[in-house]
Structure 1
Amino acid sequence: MRFANVLHLGIKELRSLARDPIMLVLIVYAFSFSVYTAATAMKETLHRAPIAIVDEDNSPLAARIAGAFYPPDFLPPEMIKPQELDRRMDIGLDTFALDIPPDFQRDLLAGKKPTIMLSVDATRMTQAFTGNAVIQNIVTGEVNAFLKRYRDVPDTTVNLVTRARFNPTLDNERFLGVMHVIDNVTLLAIILTGAALIREREHGTIEHLLVMPVTPLEIMTSKVWAMGLVVLVACYFAILVIVQGILRVPVEGSMPLFLLGTALHLFATTSLGIFLGTVARSMPQFGLLMLLILLPLQMLSGSTTPRESMPEFVQMIMMGAPNTHFVIIAQAVLFRGADGSVIWPQLLALAAIGTALFLFALARFRKAIVTMA
């Protein structure tokens, strides 16, 4: 293999990509606006939840409970009348509605066990699931603090001290932004290399390559390094500018180590893109193949759901996928500050998987290149 040919062919791929405005827009969008919206628009924690309160007691305790709900977890409570509760819930104005009954404070001080009704709009699943427990803790805490002023309240609960490591505020922006970058690395690596190969066929330039003194290995290697370099630079930009700069998510580990893992992952996924490009005869076919390959890779890699919660045979199968090892590397380095002594098995696995995919795609590419011409 002549490295000068690989270099010049790779530069040709970069120039061809620069003349494709649709692909350029896709790259910019995938590593900028898409990352920001994925991190900020899909809040899994309680954030600005609308709540209404029916205060039928008009007591200091009821006012204390109403004042315990404030931003950013909740919007300022709407004080409503009892007859408004169902109507507001029906039209979707409130996620939670708390009904404090008459004589609530008096019954509580008398030693009775009054009941507070909490209505929840369960169609808003994330807020409903999280907010139910949060509201219960808020109400219980305010009631206990109020009662301690009037009589001793035995504290029989266990004092559980929680330490949230790697994400002290339990903010999903720290997780979703990085994971979306990782998913887009795989997406763009496959699309760019596969589209580059199909573009050669559609534009008729594949015939020019065949009459030149270049080998299939040189052609494929040029596409792999050129498209991989584009995605690697875009990934570094997304982590540095979008994740760290705009989202203000700290990166705990070494960026060069993360980029090394990204480069090995790109070696595997760009080879996969070449293989899919030889199978598909057109871009629509390539898009359908992408759906069959990309969705399982991303959903079962552990980027959104822990691998330990999946069936064991799925875990075993996904150990042969590059995404699984790349997700482990990214989470270990960027979130937990791991060094090479921790992630070297995943680096070796990515190198082995990438080599196998490259050789497999090269064999397919050698057979298909004459047919494509």
Structure 2
Amino acid sequence: MDLASRSVKKLKIANVLNLGIKELYSLKADPTLLVLIVYIFTFSVYSVAKGANYEVVNASVAILDEDHSPLSRQITSALLPPTFLPPVEIPSSDMEEVLNNGNFVFVLVFPPNFGRDVLQGKQPEVQLNVDASAMTMAGNGAVYIQEIVLAETIQYLTPNKNFQASLPIKISIRKLFNPNSSSFWFNAVMQIINSITLLGIILPGAALIRERERGTIEHLLSMPITSAEIMFAKIWSNGLIVLIATALSLQFVVRELLSIPIHGSITLFILASALYLFSVTSLGILLGTITRSMAQFGLLVIPIIIVMYLLSGSTTPQESMPEGLRWIMQLSPSTHFVALSQDILYRGAGFLAIWPLLLVLIAIGGVFFTISLNRFRRTIATMA
């Protein structure tokens, strides 16, 4: 802590500015990283938003109809696109085969005399076989089919009666912020957040290793500059690139190309992203000091980014995780940044609502920076 504080006190803004400009020129001369940045904030955001669906879309359904009554045909005709593909009738001998081969996600079986038993007040069983290897579609689709079977059966028995009006209670569902429950609204923004994490770690770490491999780090050691100045230069320059790419992606990819509304202030989101980048760029430099080559850096970065991505709350809500793991992930800046981003971009939260999370990001960033600076100083000392 004392070493870090003394280095920060000797900080010269001009040195930090000039070193940061040097970093920008180095990045400009690296076409691979430039292509990666453009790809991650354009095609990657678009493809994930459009390609990864949590809703039931075009689910394949097979019908094994041993009744052929008006009721079974009515239920079958209610399985409509785009939720379901047109149902395909199969013989009973093929049911196990089509499930084992993955030809259909659902096989709906109507028993003999199904329509007659319903009219006589009996309770016949309709069997729904599900290929649960398609996890999300299997869970949600089974619920949809169950609701369709019940609704069409009630409509068949009482065609002129409003069944909902006869219930003692009525549920009124109001969806805020995403009224159509569209997954691509969610996926696009979360992909940008994950891209900030990815590049925030990779760019400064790769810059440090690139200087070591090219021998330019020795040139820096011969200059009258401190380790804190070198670190701050790498943080602001690489962070600036990520912030610019983030703002452009939100405006042109999310808002204009995908037509996804942003409820909150992009300026406030950029401020939160800057504080978050202070943490993850420091982490990237720390990983760059631990590894000796770009290959080692890549192998070390992969598991760290995967853990931060999967357990930050961007894919799985924090509330559904084990309590111990949830407490551990509070030490990760990605957890708080995901919560911040969702509050700002989805719910339109203002500064007064999110300032506690901003303070947490500042505190975590300070810890990461101090650890990285001390490690960076020791690394430089061994090279001097």
Please indicate the TM-score interval, normalised by the length of the shorter structure: over 0.9
Distance 1:208 1:152 in 2: 82
Q: 2:69 aligns with which of 38, 59, 73?
A: 59
Shift of 1:208: 1.3
**Residues 1:87 and 1:205: Cα distance change in structure 2 (over 3 Å):** same
SS at the partner of 1:319?
A: helix
In the alignment, which residue of structure 1 is the partner of 2:318?
307
Q: 1:168 aligns with which of 179, 182, 193?
A: 179
* 1:112 equivalenced with 2:127 (yes/no): no
**Residues 1:153 and 1:187: Cα distance change in structure 2 (over 3 Å):** closer
State the percentage of identical aligned residues. 49
In the alignment, which residue of structure 1 is the partner of 2:159?
149
In the alignment, which residue of structure 2 is the partner of 1:126?
136
In the alignment, which residue of structure 1 is the partner of 2:33?
23
| Preserved contact between residue 201 and residue 372 of structure 1 (Cα < 8 Å) | no
- Name which of structure 1's ranges 250-259 and 269-278 shifts more when overlaid on structure 2: 269-278
* 1:221 equivalenced with 2:271 (yes/no): no
Report the count of equivalent residues: 373
| Unmatched tracts of structure 2, length 5 or more | 1-10
* 1:209 equivalenced with 2:220 (yes/no): yes
SS at the partner of 1:114?
A: coil
String of CA shifts for 1:351-370, please: whole Å, max 9, x gaps.
Answer: 22222322322222222113
* 1:85 equivalenced with 2:79 (yes/no): no
Distance 2:202 2:12 in 1: 26
Distance 2:101 2:306 in 1: 35
In the alignment, which residue of structure 2 is the partner of 1:13?
23
Give the letter aligned to residue 216 of structure 2. Answer: T
Q: 1:298 aligns with which of 293, 296, 309?
A: 309
In the alignment, which residue of structure 1 is the partner of 2:58?
48
In the alignment, which residue of structure 2 is the partner of 1:37?
47
Shift of 1:289: 2.5
Give the letter aligned to residue 350 of structure 1. Answer: L
SS at the partner of 2:63?
A: strand
- Name which of structure 1's ranges 79-88 and 31-40 shifts more when overlaid on structure 2: 79-88
| Aligned counterparts, 1:238-253, within 5 A | 238-253=249-264
Distance 1:83 1:226 in 2: 66
In the alignment, which residue of structure 1 is the partner of 2:353?
342
CA RMSD in angstroms, aligned pairs only = 2.2
String of CA shifts for 1:312-334, please: whole Å, max 9, x gaps.
Answer: 33333332321121111101001
In the alignment, which residue of structure 1 is the partner of 2:380?
369
Give the letter aligned to residue 323 of structure 1. Answer: S
Distance 1:184 1:260 in 2: 16
**Residues 1:313 and 1:152: Cα distance change in structure 2 (over 3 Å):** closer
In the alignment, which residue of structure 1 is the partner of 2:290?
279
SS at the partner of 1:275?
A: helix
In the alignment, which residue of structure 1 is the partner of 2:343?
332
* 1:71 equivalenced with 2:70 (yes/no): no
Q: 2:203 aligns with which of 192, 197, 217?
A: 192
Give the letter aligned to residue 63 of structure 2. Answer: I
String of CA shifts for 1:87-127, please: whole Å, max 9, x gaps.
Answer: 33332211111122333222222222222222211222221
Give the letter aligned to residue 246 of structure 2. Answer: C
Give the letter aligned to residue 133 of structure 1. Answer: V
Q: TM-score if structure 1 supplies the norm length?
A: 0.93
Give the letter aligned to residue 222 of structure 2. Answer: V
Distance 1:67 1:202 in 2: 66
Shift of 1:153: 7.6
In the alignment, which residue of structure 2 is the partner of 1:236?
247
Q: 1:320 aligns with which of 309, 325, 331?
A: 331
| Preserved contact between residue 35 and residue 177 of structure 1 (Cα < 8 Å) | yes
| Preserved contact between residue 57 and residue 100 of structure 1 (Cα < 8 Å) | yes
**Residues 1:316 and 1:126: Cα distance change in structure 2 (over 3 Å):** closer
**Residues 1:169 and 1:366: Cα distance change in structure 2 (over 3 Å):** same
